Structure 1
């Protein structure tokens, strides 16, 4: 086992942000059917691969996000203060919920004042409740008709937090047995792959797209990569060529995962494998210049860093602009939707994202991770001792006389 892995330099961080930038572009254009005509897309292979690759983009988010978050959990275990599962969960919840709750507030205001909103108050309340409690994907499986369709894309956040809880529990329970953590995550990944094939082959496709246990293969693969990384130091000489090969392999896999049926076949699992190879290779060694230029450029890096806000706002904005511009040409409607989306992403960043980031950087989290309850017990014990001393000092002193 080799634990002397190189620290992540700026180029490696840029590569991870850059590939998430590619993912958010694919997700956004896959939802563009709300703005522009799509009848011509199915007749051409290249546009079809680009404009129908939302699942491909979500897999990138899952693998890279789980890899980064699991590495952070493992670093927390190795830190002097240790890992507090409750604190880790609250931090993750705040990270996802900052802009999300702002978005839900805006949706409620729009439903009240927008006379063209097609959803009833009851549907809006139920949708907001389940999105805010991260049970949205469960609710959609049985109540798709009684749900706001302009918020359907938020199923991703529900699955993300649910799988994070599973990974967090495994990391905490096996914190003293890192090798067994790798074994457990590997076994869980095999089970997820089998269950993925079973559900997608026996149940409705709509259920497969929303069920947590069917979509968790990608985040579990990312978590497995992070847990196994310290054991892969011997592969460091092969890391740079592996990063290039895996990045090149992602290009044909984009075309091979266009349809939902192919995505839930072996091609989807090969996509997970290619993404895992990419993130592991870029973590074992500094990415090659060609990889950095391809996915670590400024544009893709910027998109990756703002990807959460873009993901949250683009779909409801597309719906809103579409229903208010029926008579517009699709080009003008698209330009307006992009501008409104950019404004809302900036608004969300200024109002929520910056404050959440500042809060998460506060040193109070280290104090909480070190153990707030031992501190409370020590403080209460000290207060009891001081109280006894104070009470004893107030008692009248007994005088002793010789008999």
Structure 2
């Protein structure tokens, strides 16, 4: 059967992107549930598959790289202040609300609470809140937000001299970023600075999204033409992504439990996650319509995608809260009961966060941006 035309989305928004967010959040949720219940080590291959769900974080990073960089490609002169306001409004209120609940419930050291509130927990030794440990990726994401305008400005200047250079530069930077991840030292989360969570060690995932944004905006580039040819066979690519994911569950990609992954194993893990992210995101933004994209665009998937940030923030506090309330021991099984009780609570909190915190503040930020634009025009 002939491949259908590519569904390029210059607007940067496709319902399937929301579905991909839901998939990323779901991977993160199941990997934490599997870890807390000991299922990673007790369920054989299924446990390893669940345990490698931390690749969902890489998918979130790739989505950020794609959508935010695409915005700078479309509007290279957008005010940096407005960009930072939108990013702060999108991320910080819900994050700080969840953090406040975690701090009130667990009473961590004031130093650790303050570092998390400032998004600096990955730059200090031993700053680790077990009930909110997934928040490290927010700190990494914030650092990407901070440097992206300068990077986009540099790329724009390079493009004015050589229109084909930016995409080539990003493609060359990708393996270098993977190599950098392999050079980062390991860390004990309880006592060391987790350098492997800093932006340089995680930049490969963001670069995947940025490369795809360049391909979307410059379809005539030789690299873009090659990428589009690859994406004409989404079924084979999805099979490759599944095989790559299975490979990532083996020891070559490091531990599946809480221990640190660094050095060569982190580089391998980054490389494998880049392949997965490139396929899953590339098919959505450039490939033909398939059962995969239709599933991601379904009403349930898009709704879950819209509240995915709240799912990401709330699931681990909910899971650890259930352990505290029930007195059940960690690593003693019970994956299905944990998900059956914890997921509905998480979804309710995420939906409430989206409706009462995230959406109102994002609308306020959008209104402030429009008001500022009108003042500038006077």
**Normalization by structure 2: what TM-score?**
0.79
Q: Which of 164-173 and 63-72 deviates more?
A: 164-173
In the alignment, the residues of structure 2 paired with residue 183 and residue 235 of structure 1 have an alpha-carbon distance, to the nearest angstrom, of 13
Unaligned runs of 5+ in 1: 112-116, 380-403
The 1:270–1:34 alpha-carbon spacing in structure 2 relative to 1, beyond 3 Å, is closer
Please identify the structure whose Cα radius of gyration is greater: 1
Q: What secondary structure does 2:218 align onto?
A: helix
State the shift of 1:7 in Å: 6.0
In the alignment, the residues of structure 1 paired with residue 60 and residue 212 of structure 2 have an alpha-carbon distance, to the nearest angstrom, of 14
Q: Give the corresponding residue for 2:262.
A: none
The 1:35–1:93 alpha-carbon spacing in structure 2 relative to 1, beyond 3 Å, is same
**Normalization by structure 1: what TM-score?**
0.75
In the alignment, the residues of structure 2 paired with residue 337 and residue 48 of structure 1 have an alpha-carbon distance, to the nearest angstrom, of 21
State the shift of 1:153 in Å: 0.6
2:17 aligned with 1:22: no
2:107 aligned with 1:104: no
2:367 aligned with 1:357: no
In the alignment, the residues of structure 1 paired with residue 374 and residue 291 of structure 2 have an alpha-carbon distance, to the nearest angstrom, of 43
1:278-298: per-residue Cα shift (whole Å, max 9, x none)? 43444345x323232343333
Q: Give the corresponding residue for 1:213.
A: 200
Q: Give the corresponding residue for 2:3.
A: none
The 1:63–1:332 alpha-carbon spacing in structure 2 relative to 1, beyond 3 Å, is closer
Q: What secondary structure does 1:53 align onto?
A: helix
2:281 aligned with 1:268: no
State the shift of 1:345 in Å: 1.5
Q: Give the corresponding residue for 2:135.
A: 154
State the shift of 1:368 in Å: 3.7
1:325·1:333 contact (CA, 8 Å) conserved in 2?
no
Q: Give the corresponding residue for 1:134.
A: 119
2:122·2:195 contact (CA, 8 Å) conserved in 1?
no
State the shift of 1:101 in Å: 1.7
2:248 aligned with 1:257: yes
Unaligned runs of 5+ in 2: 1-5, 254-264
1:143 counterpart (112, 120, 126): 126
2:10·2:217 contact (CA, 8 Å) conserved in 1?
no
Alignment of 1:4-403 (within 5 A): 8=9, 13-33=14-34, 36-38=37-39, 41-49=41-49, 51-77=50-76, 82-108=77-103, 110-111=104-105, 117=106, 119-120=107-108, 123=109, 125-139=110-124, 142-144=125-127, 147-178=128-159, 179=163, 180-199=165-184, 202-204=185-187, 207=194, 209-233=196-220, 234=225, 238=229, 241-258=232-249, 261-262=252-253, 264-266=266-268, 268-284=270-286, 287-327=288-328, 330=334, 332-362=337-367, 364-366=368-370, 368=372, 372=376
1:18·1:297 contact (CA, 8 Å) conserved in 2?
yes
The 1:193–1:7 alpha-carbon spacing in structure 2 relative to 1, beyond 3 Å, is closer
In the alignment, the residues of structure 2 paired with residue 325 and residue 214 of structure 1 have an alpha-carbon distance, to the nearest angstrom, of 38
RMSD (Å) for aligned C-alpha atoms: 3.2
Q: What secondary structure does 1:321 align onto?
A: helix
In the alignment, the residues of structure 1 paired with residue 340 and residue 51 of structure 2 have an alpha-carbon distance, to the nearest angstrom, of 20
Q: What secondary structure does 1:83 align onto?
A: coil
2:86·2:366 contact (CA, 8 Å) conserved in 1?
no
2:318·2:345 contact (CA, 8 Å) conserved in 1?
yes
1:11·1:296 contact (CA, 8 Å) conserved in 2?
no
2:21·2:305 contact (CA, 8 Å) conserved in 1?
yes
1:363-391: per-residue Cα shift (whole Å, max 9, x none)? x424546884xx6xxx8xxxxxxxxxxxx
State the shift of 1:156 in Å: 0.6
2:186·2:195 contact (CA, 8 Å) conserved in 1?
yes
In the alignment, the residues of structure 1 paired with residue 228 and residue 129 of structure 2 have an alpha-carbon distance, to the nearest angstrom, of 50
Q: Which of 12-21 and 212-221 deviates more?
A: 12-21
In the alignment, the residues of structure 2 paired with residue 318 and residue 172 of structure 1 have an alpha-carbon distance, to the nearest angstrom, of 42
The 1:240–1:253 alpha-carbon spacing in structure 2 relative to 1, beyond 3 Å, is closer
2:59·2:277 contact (CA, 8 Å) conserved in 1?
yes
2:205·2:277 contact (CA, 8 Å) conserved in 1?
no
The 1:293–1:149 alpha-carbon spacing in structure 2 relative to 1, beyond 3 Å, is same
